[in-house]
Amino acid sequence: MQERLPEPAARHLWGGYLAAERNAEAVRWELEQLDGGLLGRLSPPVALKGAAYLLAGLPNAAGRVCHDIDLLFPADEVGRAESLLFFEGWQASPHDAHDQRYYRQWMHELPPLVHRRRGATLDLHHNLLPETFAVRVEPRRVLDAAAPLAAPWRLRVPAPEHLALHAAVHLFAETEWQRGLRDLYDIHALVEHFQAARGDRFWEELLDEAEALGVAWLVEPALACGRTLLGTRVPAAAAERLERHGPPRWRRGPMRALFRHGLNTRASRTPRRDALARAALLLRGHWLKMPPTLLARHLLYKAFRAPQGARAGGGETPTHRHG
Partner 1 sequence: MRIGQLSRSELAGRLARGGLSLATGPVTTRIRTSIPGVAAHLAALYADFPLGEADGIADFSCQLRPPRGVRRYYRPQVLFLADGRSVFKPLAYHQAGPMLEWGMNWCIASQLRDRLIFHAAALERGGRALLLAAPPGSGKSTLCAALACRGWRLLTDEAALVELGAGRVSVAGTARPVSLKNASIEAVQRLAPEAALSAPCRDTLKGTVAHMRPPPESVRRAQEPAAPAWLVFPRFVPGAPTRLTERSRPEAFMGLAANAFNYAALGRRAFHRTADLVERVACYDFRYSRLEEAVQVFDELATRREPSAVPGAGEPGYHGRPHGPGVDGAAAGGAGERAARHPVAPGR
Partner 2 sequence: MEPEALPGGEGDRVLEGEAAFLEIRALDGGVLAFHAGSGETHWLEGLPARLLWAGAHLGGAAPERLRERLGDEAALAEAMAGLRAAGLIR
Out of partner 1, partner 2, none, which partner does residue 65 contact, by CB within 5 to 8 A per kind? partner 1
In the complex, the residues that contact partner 2 under the rule CB under 8 A are 22, 25-26, 28-30, 32-33, 117-118
Q: Binding to partner 1 (CB under 8 A): which residues in 115-154?
A: 115, 117-121
Based on CB atoms, which residue is closest to partner 2, 26 or 92? 26
DSSP string, 268-294: -S-HHHHHHHHHHHHHHHHHHHS-HHH
The b-or-e profile of 104-114 (16+ CB within 10 A means b, else e) is: eebbbbbbbbb
- CB under 8 Å to 292, separation ≥6 — which residues? none
Residue 11 or 101 with smaller CB distance to partner 1: 11
What Rg value do the Cα atoms of the chain yield, rounded? Answer: 20
- Closest approach of Cβ 82 to partner 1, in Å? 18
**Least Å from the CB of residue 151 to partner 1:** 24
What's the start-to-end Cα distance of the chain, in Å?
37
Report the length, in residues, of the chain.
323
Residues 28 to 47 in contact with partner 1, rule: CB under 8 A: 30
x-or-dash string of contact with partner 1, 181-220, rule CB under 8 A? ----------------------------------------
Distance, in Å, from the CA atom of 91 to the CA atom of 226, rounded to the nearest integer, reads: 38
Which residue of 66, 129, 190, 281 would you call a contact of partner 1, by CB under 8 A?
Answer: 66
* Burial grade of 273 (CB within 10 A; 0-12, 13-18, 19 or more): middle
* Distance from C-alpha of 236 to C-alpha of 150, rounded to nearest angstrom: 35
β partners of residue 121: 114
Please report whether residue 94 would count as binding partner 1 according to CB under 8 A.
no
From 83, 293, 308, 319, residue interacting with partner 1 (rule: CB under 8 A): 319
316 binds partner 1 (CB under 8 A): yes
Least distance from partner 1 to the Cβ atom of residue 217, Å:
29
Q: Which does 62 bind (CB under 5 to 8 A by kind): partner 1, partner 2, none?
A: none
Query: Phi first, then psi: what are they for 245, rounded to 5°?
Result: -95, -5
Residues 6 or more apart in contact with residue 108 via CB below 8 angstroms: 125, 126, 127, 128, 129, 130, 131, 133
100 binds, among partner 2, partner 1, none (CB under 5 to 8 A by kind): none
Interface residues toward partner 1, by CB under 8 A: 6, 8-9, 11-12, 14-16, 18-19, 21-23, 25-27, 30, 65-69, 112, 114-115, 117-121, 178, 265-267, 271, 314-323
